[in-house]
Amino acid sequence: MKKIVWWSIGVFLVYGACIWVYLFYISDTSIPQSLKGTSVDPATFMNARELMLTEKYSKIRDALFFIRIPYEWLGFILILVLGVSKKVNKWSKDVSRFSLLQTAIYVFWLSVLLLIYSFPMDWISYKLSKAYHITTQPFQGWMKDLFTDFWVNYATMFLVIAVLYAFIRKFSKRWWLYAWIVSIPFTLFLTFIQPVVIDPLYNDFYPLKNKELETKILHLADEAHIPAKHVYEVNMSEKTNSLNAYVTGIGSNSRIVLWDTTLNKLTEREILFIMAHEMGHYVKKHIYVGIASALVLSIVGLWLTKHLARFVIKRWGKALKITSLSDLNSLPLILLIFSILTFAVSPLTNMQSRHHELQSDTYAMDLTGDKQAAIKTFQDLTKSGLSQVNPPYLVKIFRYGHPTILERISFVEKYERNE
């Protein structure tokens, strides 16, 4: 047990040091000499202070991202090795003889432990964002969102875990397949209800106040065959200075949403370009492609989880206090394996996402043909989020679901509209 704990902590510290050295001393975020002085060069649209803040903020933010993931893995290992998971499982059985109630109790206390464990990282991220004026949300509002997250995640996790362990106990060999089959309608259901049930838990949504702009956006939506009767505005300025807009949901629950920060900081031409981009996702059916890709990856992930969990329990089950996968106290192991697999496949999923974003940029340019608005939009997004124009390679492949700003502006500059 001690060996596993100390090795885990040691590997985590060495990894963290390597990430810090890579981001702060090795990686090169400068733009190619041939692009100096062009619209891609941040020196042409940001002042010296903004350039300095962007470099500092981006490096610290990226370091936190890369450190947070193994920090989460370390938490799962400690909960198992120290016997915490086993004790919580035993306590849930002492409280009730009903398996469903046992699951509810176990998942609740595990969720509380993980909330407490992850709080320092959440707090550091919040304070960093606040210090660089990305976040405008007061502490009370941030805590409210944190607890809303907790209850939404708890409800979802309870349903998933209750079904998952029912399958593990009844179908020891093919539980992964039955779990995947059930996940299909569940994923579609969550995607369908998110715009009207989940999102409003965090923010207030209301019809766009600028009716003239709404008419222009709905005209674009009509050209894209999006069944939307309204454009929604959300009061994100209470929480952030960042800019965003999106088209979400499926079928009759599709929604076109603009952050009020976008409305306040961008011109009408830039807003129309952004909305054309978001509509491109709908036209290209990226939501459905994303769901299909997730389902393909999940069936592979569940199959691998079954075999990896069985191997780990056979090899280190005693040290991890796990005797059988069917026991609830094996849940941190399942979460650990799934988290590692998710991280491992993230370069692939991010690459697909970047391809979709490029398709949407192309669609927006085809629809608007407004190069100037597109370039200004990308420059404004860079400034508002203190984002690097040319991030380090590892940051790009593990973090970026969008092409880099360098790639996006370069694409627009070279774009030729097909008449």
The strand ranges marked E within 192-336 are: 205-207, 231-234, 245-248, 255-259
- CA dist 132 and 125 (Å) reads 11
**CB count, 10 Å around CB of 230?**
14
Q: What single-letter DSSP state applies at residue 1?
A: -
Bridge-based pairing of strands 255-259 and 231-234 is parallel
> Residue 417 — φ and ψ, nearest 5°?
-75, 130
- 3-state DSSP call for residue 57? helix
Cβ-based neighbours of 310, under 8 Å, separated by 6 or more: 325
Q: Which residues contact 161 (CB under 8 A, 6 or more apart)?
A: 103, 107, 328, 331
Q: Is 133 helix (H, G, I), strand (E, B) or coil?
A: coil
**Rounded CA separation 304/180 (Å):** 13
Give the active site residue among 214, 233, 278, 370. Answer: 278
Active site residue 327: no
Find out whether 277 is annotated in a ligand binding site.
yes
Catalytic residue among 233, 361, 370, 380: 361
> 358: number of CA atoms within 13 Å, CB side?
15
**22-32 per-residue burial string, b: 16 or more CB within 10 A, e: under 16:** bbeeebebebe
278 is catalytic: yes
Q: Which helix (H) or strand (E) holds 394?
A: helix 393-399
The strand ranges marked E within 132-288 are 205-207, 231-234, 245-248, 255-259
Active site residues: 278, 361
Binding-site residues from annotation:
277, 281, 357
- Binding site for Zn(2+), by residue number, is 277, 281, 357
